[in-house]
Amino acid sequence: MAITLDGTTGITTPGLTNTGSTTIVALTTTGNTILGDASTDTLNVGNGNLVTDASGNVGIGNTSPAARIDVFRSTVGTYFLGGGGDNVARQLAIKSSTTTNSGDTHTFDAQSGTGILAFAITGTERARIDSSGNLGLGVTPSAWGSTFRAMDVLGYASFSGFNNGEADMSCNGYYNSGWKYKNTAAATLYQQNAGTHAWQIAPSGTAGNSISFTQAMTLDASGNLLVGTTSTGFTSSGSTYYSPPGQYWINNHLTGTSSGTRYIGFGIGTAEVGSITQSGTTAVLYNTTSDYRLKNNQQALTGAKDFIMALRPKKWQWWDGSGEGVGFVAHEFMEVAKYSGNGEKDAIDADGKPVYQSIQPSSSEVMANLVAFIQEQSALITTLTARITALEAK
Average pLDDT of every residue of the chain: 76
pLDDT at site 88: 43
Whether pLDDT at 266 is above 60: yes
The confidence band for 22, taking pLDDT boundaries of 50, 70 and 90, is: very low
How confident is the model over 24-59, as pLDDT tens digits? 445 554 445 566 666 667 777 766 678 888 877 888
Q: Which comes out higher in pLDDT, residue 84 or 305? A: 305
Which of 236-245, 274-283, 291-300 has the lowest average pLDDT?
A: 236-245
Q: Give the pLDDT score at 174.
A: 58
Selected residue with higher pLDDT from 224 and 334: 334
Residue 331 has pLDDT above 90, yes or no: yes
Query: Average pLDDT in the 260-273 region?
Result: 92
End-to-end CA distance of the chain: 161
Q: What is the per-residue pLDDT for 326?
A: 97
| Number of Cβ within a 10 Å radius of residue 370 | 16
Q: Tens digit of pLDDT for each residue in 198-232?
A: 888 766 555 555 566 788 899 988 888 999 888 88
Rounded CA gap, 30 and 194, in Å? 75
Closest CA to 163 of 134, 136, 190, 139: 134
At 168, the amino acid letter reads D
Check residues 372 and 159 and name the one with the higher pLDDT: 372
| pLDDT computed for residue 303 by the predictor | 95
Q: Residue 13 — pLDDT band, cuts 50, 70, 90?
A: low
Cα–Cα dist 151/92, whole Å = 23
Q: Which residues share a beta bridge with 325?
A: 316
Q: Looking at 100-114, 180-194, 342-356, which range is the least confident one?
A: 100-114
Region 157-184 average pLDDT: 57
Q: Which residue has the higher pLDDT, 115 or 289?
A: 289
Q: How many other CB atoms are there within 10 angstroms of residue 95's CB atom?
A: 21
Rounded CA separation 315/32 (Å): 109
Q: What is the pLDDT of residue 194?
A: 77
pLDDT at 27: 52
| pLDDT single digits (tens) 111-159 | 655 667 777 776 677 777 777 777 777 766 665 444 445 565 555 555 5
Instruction: Give residue 33's pLDDT.
Output: 59
Higher confidence at residue 231 or residue 11? 231
215 and 197 Cβ atoms separated by less than 8 Å = no
The confidence score (pLDDT) of residue 248 equals 86
